């Protein structure tokens, strides 16, 4: 029987990022600096997904991510799932999720906010995880996470 699936060689060591929204794929690539990597990277774009309609997937050999890097990812693609693979086995699977606080990751949308006028780290508190709403620690402006720019 013909299988309607993409055949990609299995990963022995590395990370698989699944359920990336297609319109966010290139942002994820930039954010994780995959263009500067020397190890093997497989990218699937516009793949079929039962849950999402279409999705993208990235397999990265010999690279593991810190929590901080994953938090960053949650800003552009909040529902990504991450599988850590060692010796062809999935040793860890987790969902990327918005942390309670975002320190030094995004810029405030308010041009009159002190963080846009002073060399300092930004800080945001996530007030509504479901709808992706964050509040600037300094100027108190609430903003949608999809509207903010990365630092």
Residues that bind another protein (CB under 8 A): 110, 112-115, 117-120, 136-142
Closest CA to 122 of 139, 146, 100: 139
CA 16 to chain centre: 12
- Least separation, in Å, of the C-beta of 136 and another protein? 7
**Comparison of 89 and 118: residue with beta carbon closer to another protein:** 118
Q: Which helix (H) or strand (E) holds 150?
A: none
**Comparison of 2 and 149: residue with beta carbon closer to another protein:** 149
- Least separation, in Å, of the C-beta of 130 and another protein? 16
**Comparison of 19 and 141: residue with beta carbon closer to another protein:** 141
- For residue 66, which phi and psi values (nearest 5 degrees)? -80, 165
**Comparison of 26 and 138: residue with beta carbon closer to another protein:** 138
- Least separation, in Å, of the C-beta of 108 and another protein? 8
Q: What is the 3-state secondary structure (H, E, C) of 14-68?
A: EEEEEEECHHHHHHHHHHCCHHHCCCCEEEEEEEEECCCEEEEEEEEECCCCCHH
- Least separation, in Å, of the C-beta of 131 and another protein? 13
């Amino acid at each position: 029987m013909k299988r309607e699936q993409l055949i990609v060689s299995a990963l022995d060591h590395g990370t698989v990022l699944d359920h990336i929204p297609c319109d966010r794929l290139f942002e994820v690539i930039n954010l994780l600096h995959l263009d500067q990597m020397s190890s093997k990277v497989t990218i699937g774009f516009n793949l079929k997904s039962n849950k999402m309609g279409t999705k993208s997937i990235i397999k990265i050999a010999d690279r593991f991510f810190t929590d901080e890097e994953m938090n960053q990812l949650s800003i552009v693609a909040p529902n990504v799932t991450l599988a850590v693979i060692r010796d062809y086995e999935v040793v860890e699977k987790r969902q990327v999720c918005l942390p309670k606080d975002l320190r030094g990751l995004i810029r405030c949308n308010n041009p009159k906010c002190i963080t846009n006028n002073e060399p300092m780290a930004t800080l945001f508190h996530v007030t509504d995880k479901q709808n992706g709403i964050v509040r600037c620690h300094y100027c108190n402006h609430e903003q949608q996470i999809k509207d903010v720019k990365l630092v």
